[in-house]
Structure 1
Amino acid sequence: MKRLYRSPLTFLCMFGILFAVSCQKVEYRDRYEKNEISDIYATYDGKGRERLFEARIVDDKIYIDVDYYYPIDSDNEVDISKLYLRATVPSDATVSPSLSELWDLTTPKELTVTAGTGEVRKYTVIANKQGNTDVTSATLTYDDEGGSPQEVTAIIIDDKINFSLVPGTVMNNAKLSYVINRHSTGSIPNEGSVDLSTAQPFVVSSVGDASRAYTLQVIEAVKLAKGIRPGSAKVMFAKKLKDDLGIMTDDVTGGIAATGDYVVLNTRAQNSVYIDAFTGTKVGEIELGAVKGNLKNFYTTADDAGNIFVCNLTQNDGNVFNIWKISSVTGTPQSFISWTTTGAYGRKFSVIGNVNTNAIITVPVINAASSSFARWQIVNGSLVSQTPEMVTISGYSWSNNNADMIYTSPTDVTSDYFAIGYSDNRLVKVNGSTNTIMSELEKLGSNFIANTVDYIEFNNAKFVAYNHVNSFSWGSADQVFLIDTEGGFSGDPSAGTTPGLIWSAEKGKYGRSASGGVVNGNGTGDVAMTVSENGFYLYLYFMFTNGYVVGVQFDCVDIQ
């Protein structure tokens, strides 16, 4: 449609506006003068943005530390002629050669960063391809003065392999055993004799001319007065359920049981895989026999003594809720609880204590929205009743099959307990006498699911761990949080505002998206914690369905 400006005044006004706009001075944005790389790592084709190989920037040199094999315990040698580099540079800087192309790092290569102002900085990229020389664990065995066999687990701090012994201990026939990468060798034969009356050198050698010198020594270890040593967190292993452990069925690996020496993974309708608790290597499978079934071995957990428990799912598997006990990874399932009910149970359950002495078992009501759970008590090794007591939490509820709770005492049903459930997604501490909330953390994002919790006491301190699971193809969660309950139980741990937060998994790093697995549509995962026999280590294990199972070690060694 045409517009005819009939009024001279209107015409003059429009002309003035156009003139003013045309004469307005153009503002030019200042170019950014920086040309430094703030972060860089390497990966290879098909791994997207996974940080496979970290880098160190020293002046104008960038050293890429490339594992000789990837995964490190495989036979898959890394081809450093076909690596992708990923770097963070200022927004208007350019990098050449292009980071979108494969880099051949069999020889050092030059990388140039040009700032927006034209300033140039050149780096030399050097790939350091070597085998793994870490000592994952070490054990000293010996006969004491009376001829009885003894065993001590090492406390490994940097390049010191320390064995904590009481002064004056007599060690006869001392032998050293250790766990290192399968492509590496130790300067002392595994399970070979060793004299630790004085400190001894120990060298681990690997492919690519890699070597690392350690010192073996006996020390009088001292614990911190309380809690975990800051900065002691060490990821011992991260294994993909499918690619690394051979669990080929998606969606139905939903629970883990930590027994001390092993971590058991429950996959419905299959025998349970168990892995080494320190390396993540698959060791074997538990024969479940008649307990094996899609709705029978639905979930698993363990008590503090390493007894393994498996439950079924009611009402899907009938109206009898069963918990079977397996005394070890070579044991067979034995009926422990058999309870006829009209309710829905079996997505999760928790045990605090040792069922051979004293313990409390908690099983949340599922399917419909609920605030209740079933509770069994074991006193002096005997189940008080096959019929549980029902407990209802005031001011807290969950839905969509997602809830878990655990007591803080194996002997006192009025002790406090922790609970978590979706979509409330608040971790709450509940008064066991009144079943009312005492304290709570802020609600985690309700797009994702919080549905498992564990509690443990370690070195005079009290810790709780829980998860946040991504069940979608979008967004980011898949985190686990370890919290000192006496260090400040408030805030949002995913935002780093919880004072008692000790450690958290990097968001998304161990979920199904990082492993290349299918969407975790059931929104399942699990956490479990154990303490070493010598009391120096706390172990946190967690698993995300279709993703990874991970083991993290913490210690309480006073290294001052």
Structure 2
Amino acid sequence: MKTLYMKILFTVSIIAVLLGCEKPDYITPNDQTDILKVYASVEDEPAKETFSSRIVGDTIFLDVDYYYPINSDNEVDLSKLLLYAQIPQNAKITPALRGFTDLSSPIKVKITGGGGSDKEYIIKANKRGNTDVLSAKLEFDDINGDVVESTAIIIGNDLNFSVVPGTIMRNPRVTYSLNRHAQGSFVNGSTVNLDQPLTFTVTSVGNAKKDYTMKVVEAKKLPRGIREGSAKVMFAKRMKGDLGITTENLASGLALSGKYLVVNIAGQRSIYLDALTGQKVGDVDLSISGVLHNNNVTSDDAGNILVCNYSWGGGDVFKVYKKSSVSGALEPFISAPLFNSFGEKISVAGDITKDAIITSPLVGIGESNWFARWQVKNGVVVSQDPEVVNLSPSYKWNWSNADVIHTSSTDIAASYYVTGYSTNRLAKINGSTNGLLEQNTALDLNFISNSVDYMEFNNAKFVTYNYVNSQPWGSADQVFLLNAESPLVGNPSTGSSLGLIWSPAAGLYGAAAAGGSYNSSGKGDVIMGVSENGYYMYLYFMFTNGYVVGVQFDCVDL
């Protein structure tokens, strides 16, 4: 037993000796010698990265402002800078950066790595005035004389002004902001030519100089809808005082064709305006045969004009003519003997040279809920005889006050909108069942709602309808632009409607405000359009004997 114990003790001792002779692991020191970062501060702000640097090879350029703070008269003393450096682990810098460093002349520093390697650097201070452009703004007059502003997006040496493509910039001028010791290469607020990129140079003390490139860049769009607060009244023209429409109670409708807005005057030569300024451009002949010829007009998405007569019914022929532009020829399009009166309103969704749905409500009787509908496929009217649609009991209207517009150019089962007196609500109808989907609160029954339009713009949907004062007293004469994707809830005339985007004050553009006779005909119209570049949506409306108005909305992402 004793012998066994001794053997075990001997074995353990041998293992201990062997383990005691194993060599320890040593960590190799970091031998890197590259300076990671150098910066400086002033006495009053120790450790703050007041002045940064650029490392180019073995030279470190420290950019020091001539004055600090920039807008003060405190000249920076290069002999009293607090210098800081970030160096690799295990490395050291010589001379050590303690206290003030005099950089009035270049200095040398050496980085010694943990393994003994070293590398020398030269640190040079560039003391120059600050040449940063703090802000810049482009202002110009648009074609209506309104001032438009674009704040520069400053990216490096680029001053980019965001402008919608196709914009006519009249008298463009640029204002800019620099520090008080710097000067720009042209007088602040000067007129500039930005048809091509423009070099703008900023100079300052210490022979500081920096060139910037000023240029106009294409504006970005919001991903959806219109920009909040972008509504701008482009023009408001009095029918009689500004446009020379002296015959009262006959201005009945609007059409939008290219650059022009057509104002229809029932039974007479009509006029067309510049759609952006409202200036009268000329007359246009919309005369077609039939009782009360050119009783009303509208236009499709492509700017084709549709003109309709007023048919009394009982076999009287309802006629629609088309016109590709204000200078184009009138061509027969629809001719249909109808059982009752049509033609007080006509609406179209789509492009009649491709696919479209045309509607006209039955009017002239005490109560109605019928409308006529034609489909156009590949530029051809499917049938001259319309489909007559009955909304009962979903919606009804009285006498000559109603309008219907589809939300699709191809699908008659898609929803559509209707408005009319005396229901005086905007209603959305199920196209498959003709049943009511939703409707908002009724407007005051002393006044009339009789025109509606629908538009899709920048991935969003919009609907608008009117509210006409046909009395010599009271106040209405409003239009309401609504988000068509919001529920129809509330009364827009009181500002309580959900989804209300824009509306003028009651009476602002009516006959009384224009100094005309009261609108005994109760006529008015609304129509919407989109600019060719897709950045603007336009809302146009009129109140007979009152004003013709154009309002612009945009989708620019500021």
Q: Given the alignment of the two structures, is residue 335 of structure 1 paired with residue 332 of structure 2, yes or no?
A: yes
TM-score, structure 1 length as denominator?
0.64
Q: Within 1, Cα distance between the matches of 2:455 and 2:510?
A: 24
Q: Within 2, Cα distance between the matches of 1:481 and 1:401?
A: 21
Equivalent residue number for residue 195 of structure 2: 195
Cα distance, 1:331 vs. partner?
A: 1.1
| One-letter amino acid of the counterpart of residue 366, structure 1 | V
Question: After the TM superposition, which residues 37-186 of structure 1 pair with which residues of structure 2 at under 5 Å, given as runs?
Answer: 134-136=141-143, 156-157=148-149, 162-164=162-164, 177=168
Equivalent residue number for residue 426 of structure 2: 427
Q: Within 1, Cα distance between the matches of 2:351 and 2:264?
A: 21
| One-letter amino acid of the counterpart of residue 550, structure 1 | V
Equivalent residue number for residue 320 of structure 2: 323
User: Does the 8 Å contact 1:295/1:316 carry over to 2?
Assistant: no
**One of 344, 355, 360 as aligned partner of 1:358:** 355
User: Does the 8 Å contact 1:274/1:284 carry over to 2?
Assistant: yes
Q: Given the alignment of the two structures, is residue 535 of structure 1 paired with residue 534 of structure 2, yes or no?
A: yes
User: Identity rate of aligned residues, in percent?
Assistant: 51
Q: Within 1, Cα distance between the matches of 2:464 and 2:238?
A: 21
Q: Given the alignment of the two structures, is residue 367 of structure 1 paired with residue 364 of structure 2, yes or no?
A: yes
1:213-256 C-alpha deviation (Å, 9 max, x unpaired): xx994224221121111100000000001110111100000101
| One-letter amino acid of the counterpart of residue 405, structure 2 | I
1:251-302 C-alpha deviation (Å, 9 max, x unpaired): 000101012411000002221200000000001111235x278710100110
The DSSP-based 3-state class of the residue aligned with 1:510 is coil
Q: Within 2, Cα distance between the matches of 1:232 and 1:199?
A: 31
**One of 210, 234, 237 as aligned partner of 2:235:** 237
Question: After the TM superposition, which residues 396-545 of structure 1 pair with which residues of structure 2 at under 5 Å, given as runs?
Answer: 396-545=395-544
Q: CA RMSD in A?
A: 2.9
Equivalent residue number for residue 343 of structure 2: 346
1:474-526 C-alpha deviation (Å, 9 max, x unpaired): 11000000000113421111111112000001110000000000010010100
Q: Within 1, Cα distance between the matches of 2:325 and 2:218?
A: 33
Equivalent residue number for residue 262 of structure 1: 260
1:462-481 C-alpha deviation (Å, 9 max, x unpaired): 10000000001111000000
The DSSP-based 3-state class of the residue aligned with 1:514 is helix
1:430-471 C-alpha deviation (Å, 9 max, x unpaired): 000010110111101110000000000011111000000000
1:355-374 C-alpha deviation (Å, 9 max, x unpaired): 00000000100011111100
The DSSP-based 3-state class of the residue aligned with 1:494 is helix
User: Does the 8 Å contact 1:155/1:162 carry over to 2?
Assistant: no
Q: Which moved more, 1:429-438 or 1:388-397?
A: 388-397
Equivalent residue number for residue 34 of structure 1: none
Q: 1:317 to 1:556 in 2, by over 3 A?
A: farther
User: Does the 8 Å contact 2:421/2:450 carry over to 1?
Assistant: yes
Q: Within 1, Cα distance between the matches of 2:225 and 2:167?
A: 29
TM-score, structure 2 length as denominator?
0.64
User: Does the 8 Å contact 1:453/1:465 carry over to 2?
Assistant: yes
1:19-61 C-alpha deviation (Å, 9 max, x unpaired): xxxxxxxxxxxxxxxxxxxxxxxxxxxxxxxxxxxxxxxxxxx
Equivalent residue number for residue 282 of structure 1: 280
User: Does the 8 Å contact 1:269/1:294 carry over to 2?
Assistant: no
| One-letter amino acid of the counterpart of residue 277, structure 1 | A
Cα distance, 1:429 vs. partner?
A: 0.4
Q: Within 2, Cα distance between the matches of 1:537 and 1:488?
A: 24
Cα distance, 1:134 vs. partner?
A: 4.0
Q: 1:543 to 1:179 in 2, by over 3 A?
A: farther
Q: 1:287 to 1:199 in 2, by over 3 A?
A: farther
Equivalent residue number for residue 71 of structure 1: none
Q: Given the alignment of the two structures, is residue 303 of structure 1 paired with residue 300 of structure 2, yes or no?
A: yes
Equivalent residue number for residue 7 of structure 2: none
Cα distance, 1:316 vs. partner?
A: 7.9
Q: 1:188 to 1:408 in 2, by over 3 A?
A: same
Question: After the TM superposition, which residues 29-40 of structure 1 pair with which residues of structure 2 at under 5 Å, given as runs?
Answer: none
Cα distance, 1:341 vs. partner?
A: 1.7
**One of 222, 245, 249 as aligned partner of 1:224:** 222
The answer for unaligned runs of 5 or more in structure 2 is 1-139, 153-160, 172-189, 201-212
Q: Within 1, Cα distance between the matches of 2:441 and 2:286?
A: 40
**One of 364, 379, 382 as aligned partner of 2:380:** 382
Equivalent residue number for residue 245 of structure 2: 247
User: Does the 8 Å contact 2:286/2:307 carry over to 1?
Assistant: no
User: Does the 8 Å contact 1:268/1:292 carry over to 2?
Assistant: no
Q: Within 1, Cα distance between the matches of 2:151 and 2:241?
A: 32
| One-letter amino acid of the counterpart of residue 195, structure 1 | D
User: Does the 8 Å contact 2:528/2:538 carry over to 1?
Assistant: yes
User: Does the 8 Å contact 1:524/1:544 carry over to 2?
Assistant: yes
Q: 1:197 to 1:539 in 2, by over 3 A?
A: same
| One-letter amino acid of the counterpart of residue 414, structure 1 | A
The DSSP-based 3-state class of the residue aligned with 1:513 is helix
Q: Within 2, Cα distance between the matches of 1:250 and 1:448?
A: 19
Cα distance, 1:163 vs. partner?
A: 3.6
User: Does the 8 Å contact 2:352/2:379 carry over to 1?
Assistant: yes
**One of 268, 271, 274 as aligned partner of 1:273:** 271
User: Does the 8 Å contact 1:163/1:217 carry over to 2?
Assistant: no
Q: Within 2, Cα distance between the matches of 1:176 and 1:375?
A: 39
| One-letter amino acid of the counterpart of residue 462, structure 2 | F
Q: 1:336 to 1:318 in 2, by over 3 A?
A: same
User: Does the 8 Å contact 2:291/2:311 carry over to 1?
Assistant: no
| One-letter amino acid of the counterpart of residue 484, structure 2 | T
The DSSP-based 3-state class of the residue aligned with 2:399 is coil
Q: 1:155 to 1:473 in 2, by over 3 A?
A: closer
Cα distance, 1:399 vs. partner?
A: 0.6
User: Does the 8 Å contact 1:371/1:397 carry over to 2?
Assistant: yes
User: Does the 8 Å contact 1:268/1:296 carry over to 2?
Assistant: yes
| One-letter amino acid of the counterpart of residue 421, structure 2 | Y
User: Does the 8 Å contact 1:273/1:285 carry over to 2?
Assistant: yes
Q: Within 1, Cα distance between the matches of 2:249 and 2:315?
A: 22
Q: Within 2, Cα distance between the matches of 1:294 and 1:515?
A: 30
Q: 1:340 to 1:495 in 2, by over 3 A?
A: same
Q: Within 2, Cα distance between the matches of 1:549 and 1:217?
A: 37
Equivalent residue number for residue 84 of structure 1: none
Q: Within 2, Cα distance between the matches of 1:261 and 1:387?
A: 33
Structure with max Cα Rg: 2
| One-letter amino acid of the counterpart of residue 197, structure 2 | S
User: Does the 8 Å contact 1:288/1:332 carry over to 2?
Assistant: no
Q: 1:344 to 1:521 in 2, by over 3 A?
A: same
User: Does the 8 Å contact 2:243/2:280 carry over to 1?
Assistant: yes
Equivalent residue number for residue 69 of structure 2: none
User: Does the 8 Å contact 2:314/2:338 carry over to 1?
Assistant: no
The answer for unaligned runs of 5 or more in structure 1 is 1-132, 139-153, 166-174, 181-186, 201-214
User: Does the 8 Å contact 1:137/1:179 carry over to 2?
Assistant: no
